[in-house]
Amino acid sequence: MWRYRWHALAMAWVVFLLGAFAVYLMPDTYRATARLYVDTENTLRPLMRGLYPDTDMMSEVALMTRAVLFRDNINKVAIETDLIQRAKTPEQTEALLTDLQRRITVAGSREAENIFTISFEDPDRQVALDVVEAVVENPKVKHAVLTEAEGQIRDDAVLASNTSTISITHLAEPLKRPGNFCGMHFFNPVHRMPLVEVIRGEKTGEDAIARTVAYALAMGKKPIVVNDCPGFLVNRILSPYIGAFMGLVRRGVDFVAIDRAMERFGWPMGPAYLCDVVGIDTGVHAGAVMAEGFPDRMKYDFKTCHEVMFESERFGQKNGRGYYAYEADKKGRPKKVVDEKVAALLAPVIEGSETLDDEAIVDSMMIPMCLEAVRCLEDGIAASATDVDLALIYGIGFPPFRGGALHYIDDVGIDKFVARADELAAAVGPLKAMYVPTEKLREMAASGGAFFA
């Protein structure tokens, strides 16, 4: 059950990539002079690592795609750049690729971004089957890429977006075939986290959902179909958990103590460490999306510790300093250490000096998350309580032995859970809305109901 202990990344907040990339499935007999065929194992991985040094997201997706293709005896992935497009012979193509690799190695990602682009000029591009888009988490950029991509793929092709927060219904607005469009949200690191959220927009067709689920299964993933809303299922549920953390810090509870309490509860890492791993900047961006979507519960009228970290350019592991500082261990991996500077930075936004025991910390953290899971089920974002709990276990490393958020409520007892939530709601001030049980949950408590019989 600890297999994902140090790899349970939320991102749940967002997958924040630095460019556009699409994978096209092509027959081996296609013209070599139009595109370069590369072996993904030996060439694509180092190329994508050079282009995206902060994440292997698209490299891993491409490699998984390759594994699926091998089952159908298709063993090539076509990658086109503006350099390769100018090649007239196979020899020129090979020389240009070699030069591209050299520039990536020598100059790093900045120059690579300038010379690596996706082009749709060749009319034969419409041999593409299904396409997964993964560009920067910006609606305008995604609209531009999705619109152009739709015009260059077959009419029956499925177009999916790997977004972690942006409404699929909104992204589909400029598309001519919204029925063929859905979300396909991978969790980072892709090769380790099993969950894929397949997101149904208002106009998404069932065929697109079925094909995307089949694709995820062929990758060896655990797909769960969810309906559209800000944050979808997992990130929506995670947001109040992070909000509760920021509320505790505001009250003066030591974030190191919060991390230790939640790790003893069973989480692979505490909330402060988790935010560092995901990226404080990513969390601030995702928090703004969630605040717009659910202002009653997720918009705060106080300056948060996250905002302080962001303004101080403490983005987490990515730049070596966040809630913790990071130094390399013997194997070169980032190791967190307590940074005494953080206390002084947070002092202006702390309005108390509370010391809580583990039980009080766990209740304060878990109740808002569990209540949001209840709301997602009541709102029809997920089809069943089982889907909700499995998504949390496979997507963000919810302690597996606790069964998920809804199992956890059942284990506590719905009547006791509701009573404790009401008790905390009266004590948390501006975060009260996150702790208020729904009316349906109160009815279940009164009737002795349960999520799982």
User: What is the percent of the chain where pLDDT is above 70?
Assistant: 72
- Look up tokens 């072996």; give the residue: 39
Residue spans in the chain of domains classed CATH 1.10.1040.50: 233-453
Measured in degrees and rounded to the nearest 5, phi and psi for residue 350 equal -95, 130
Residue 182 bridge partners (DSSP)? 160
Long-range Cβ contacts of 208-211 (<8 Å, 24+ apart):
208/158, 208/160, 208/179, 208/180, 208/181, 208/182, 209/182, 211/130, 211/158
Task: Find the mean pLDDT for residues 36-48.
Answer: 37
Q: Name the residue with higher pLDDT: 130 or 431.
A: 431
Centre a 10 Å sphere on the Cβ of residue 379 and count the other Cβ atoms it contains: 12
Task: Find the mean pLDDT for residues 92-105.
Answer: 55
d(CA 201, CA 226): 9
Contact 424, 363 (CB under 8 A): yes
Long-range Cβ contacts of 386-392 (<8 Å, 24+ apart):
386/452, 387/224, 387/225, 387/226, 387/233, 388/233, 388/237, 390/222, 390/224, 391/195, 391/197, 391/224, 391/226, 391/233, 391/234, 392/234, 392/237
State yes or no: pLDDT of 394 exceeds 60. Answer: yes
State yes or no: pLDDT of 61 exceeds 50. Answer: yes
Question: 75 pLDDT band (50/70/90 cuts)?
Answer: very low
What was the pLDDT predicted at 44? Answer: 40
Residue 432 Cα to chain centre, angstroms: 27
Residue 79 bridge partners (DSSP)? 36
The top-scoring range by mean pLDDT among 93-102, 284-293, 375-384 is 375-384
Q: Name the residue with higher pLDDT: 347 or 108.
A: 347
| Average model confidence (pLDDT) across the chain | 78
Record the pTM: 0.75
What was the pLDDT predicted at 110? Answer: 40
Residue spans in the chain of domains classed CATH 3.40.50.720: 24-227
What was the pLDDT predicted at 188? Answer: 74
Identity of the residue numbered 53 = P
Query: Is 285 an annotated catalytic residue?
Result: no
How far lies 431's CA from each of 11, 147, 319, 337, 399, in Å? 23, 40, 31, 30, 25
CATH fold of 24-227, please? Rossmann fold (3.40.50)
Residue 77 bridge partners (DSSP)? 25, 38
Angle (CA) 115-117-122 rounded to 5° is: 125
Q: Which residues contact 341 (CB under 8 A, 6 or more apart)?
A: none
Closest to 271 in 3D by CA, of 295, 291, 247:
247
What was the pLDDT predicted at 280? Answer: 94
Closest to 299 in 3D by CA, of 436, 434, 435:
434
What was the pLDDT predicted at 145? Answer: 87
**Beta strand extents in 173-262 (DSSP E only):** 181-186, 195-200, 222-227
Task: Find the mean pLDDT for residues 105-124.
Answer: 40
Centre a 10 Å sphere on the Cβ of residue 149 and count the other Cβ atoms it contains: 21
State yes or no: pLDDT of 76 exceeds 80. Answer: no
Angle (CA) 261-267-270 rounded to 5° is: 55
Residue 335 bridge partners (DSSP)? 327
**112-116, 234-238, 293-297, 399-403: which has the minimum mean pLDDT?**
112-116
Where helices occur in 266-314 by DSSP H, the ranges are: 271-278, 280-293, 295-298, 305-311
pLDDT digits 0-9 by tens, 170-219: 999 999 999 999 999 998 777 788 999 999 999 999 999 999 999 899 88
What was the pLDDT predicted at 237? Answer: 98
CATH fold of 233-453, please? N-(1-d-carboxylethyl)-l-norvaline Dehydrogenase; domain 2 (1.10.1040)
State yes or no: pLDDT of 10 exceeds 50. Answer: no
What was the pLDDT predicted at 130? Answer: 78
In the sheet where 195-200 sits, what is the strand order?
131-133, 159-161, 181-186, 195-200, 222-227
From 7, 185, 285, 306, active-site residue? 185
d(CA 385, CA 369): 14
What was the pLDDT predicted at 191? Answer: 77
Contact 13, 165 (CB under 8 A): yes
Q: Which residues contact 303 (CB under 8 A, 6 or more apart)?
A: 348, 349
